[in-house]
């Protein structure tokens, strides 16, 4: 049987430990092509590059996979890979492993998940992986078996049309991970704070900071699963229509 073709991307940049671990895990499952940003692209959401141009180059990194570094966003990487690099349609697109959580509302800010969503828009099977550890030295190996299992299950059981997976992994040792839970996106948000500084010329400038506020302790929410030591999987869709409110809103707005 032909090996599945797996496209790998991320938002932390092509040399980040998270993506290098994911590539290593995927090399054991399929034929791997990496098309990832040449620089960190965290928080880029679903941004695409339309006012400037893109360049790419093949780079040589350890392993049997091919690696291409692109000057764009994670979503650009998926578009560019499908149109200019891959010669056949990939069987799966995986994004990550992100350094840090993309659970709950983070899905909309995340370049990692936006790349996965873009692959879904293109009609492909797609999964984003994130580890709840921002550190560059994070230990991605603890999640290896789980990640490989999830990938194999998706290759064997294609996801419903219009759905991609948002997988978040707690920062735990392999033996302390309790298992996998399919969840809904928790109701949570960032409480922003802008840290004010003054530059040497006397002008004020600001850093976006803040803290994460989880307002949802539902047993079926991703934040709950993660807090309980489970890997959370949220099926994510890109039809954003609030179908359940169409009828009521017609009565008011039409």
Binding residues: 11-12, 42, 98
The verdict on 179 binding a second copy (CB under 8 A) reads: yes
Nearer to a second copy, 6 or 116 (CB): 116
93 and 117 Cβ atoms separated by less than 8 Å? no
Taking CB under 8 A as the criterion, the residue among 64, 88, 160, 175 binding a second copy is 160
Would you state the structure tokens that stand for residue 30, as one six-digit string? 């399929």
Q: Which of 5, 13, 24, 54 binds a second copy (CB under 8 A)?
A: 54
Query: Using CB under 8 A, which residues numbered 75 to 134 contact a second copy?
Result: 75-76, 79-80, 82-84, 105, 107-109, 114, 117, 121-122
242-249: long-range contacts (C-beta < 8 A, 24 or more apart)?
A: none
Binder of a second copy out of 2, 173, 201, 243 (CB under 8 A): 243
Q: Which of 27, 163, 212, 227 binds a second copy (CB under 8 A)?
A: 163
Length of the chain: 254
Q: Could you give the 3-state DSSP secondary structure of residue 199? A: coil
Structure-derived torsion over alpha carbons of residues 244, 245, 246, 247, reported in degrees to the nearest 10: 100
Under rule CB under 8 A, residue 153 binds a second copy: yes
Nearer to a second copy, 180 or 227 (CB): 180
Annotate 22-59 with b (16+ C-beta within 10 A) or e (fewer): bbbbbeebbbbbbbbbbeebbebbbeeeeeeeeebeee
Q: Which residues are annotated as a binding site for a divalent metal cation?
A: 11-12, 42, 98
User: Is 59 one of the binding residues for a second copy (CB under 8 A)?
Assistant: no
**216 to 235, contacts with a second copy by CB under 8 A?**
220, 233-235
Nearer to a second copy, 63 or 86 (CB): 86
Residue 203 sits in the site that holds a second copy (CB under 8 A): yes
Token pair of 150 as six digits? 């999830």
Residue list 34-53, contact with a second copy (CB under 8 A): 40, 42-51, 53
In the complex, what is the shortest distance from the CB of residue 159 to a second copy, in angstroms, rounded to a whole number? 8
Number of residues that bind a second copy (CB under 8 A): 76
By the rule CB under 8 A, 237 interacts with a second copy: yes
Residue whose structure tokens are 């194999």: 152
Q: Which is nearer to a second copy, 17 or 40 (CB)?
A: 40
Q: What is the residue whose two structure tokens read 């609030």?
A: 242
How far from 193 is each of 95, 111, 186, 196, CA to CA, in Å?
29, 22, 22, 9
Of 164, 101, 99, nearest in space to 127 by CA: 164
């Amino acid at each position: 049987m032909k090996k599945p073709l797996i496209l790998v991307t991320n938002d932390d940049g092509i040399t980040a430990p998270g993506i290098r671990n994911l590539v290593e895990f995927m090399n054991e499952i399929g034929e791997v092509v990496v098309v990832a940003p040449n620089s960190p692209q965290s928080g880029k959401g679903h941004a695409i590059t339309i006012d400037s141009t893109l360049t790419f180059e093949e780079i040589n990194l350890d392993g049997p996979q091919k690696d291409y570094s692109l000057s764009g966003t994670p979503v650009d990487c998926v578009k560019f890979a499908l149109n200019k690099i891959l010669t056949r349609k990939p069987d799966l697109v995986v994004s990550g492993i992100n350094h840090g959580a993309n659970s709950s509302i983070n899905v909309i800010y995340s370049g990692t998940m936006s790349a996965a969503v873009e692959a879904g828009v293109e009609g492909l099977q797609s999964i984003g992986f994130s580890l709840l550890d921002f550190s560059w030295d994070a230990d991605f190996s603890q999640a290896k078996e789980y990640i490989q299992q999830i990938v194999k299950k998706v290759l064997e059981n294609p996801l419903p049309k219009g759905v991609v997976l948002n997988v978040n992994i707690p920062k735990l040792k392999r033996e302390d991970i309790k298992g996998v839970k399919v969840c809904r996106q928790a109701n949570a948000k960032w409480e922003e704070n802008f840290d004010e500084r003054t530059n040497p010329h006397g002008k004020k400038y600001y850093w976006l900071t803040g803290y994460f506020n989880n307002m949802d302790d539902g047993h079926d929410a991703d934040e709950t699963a993660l807090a309980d030591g489970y890997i959370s999987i949220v099926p994510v869709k890109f039809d954003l229509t609030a179908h359940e409110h169409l009828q009521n809103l017609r009565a008011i707005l039409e």
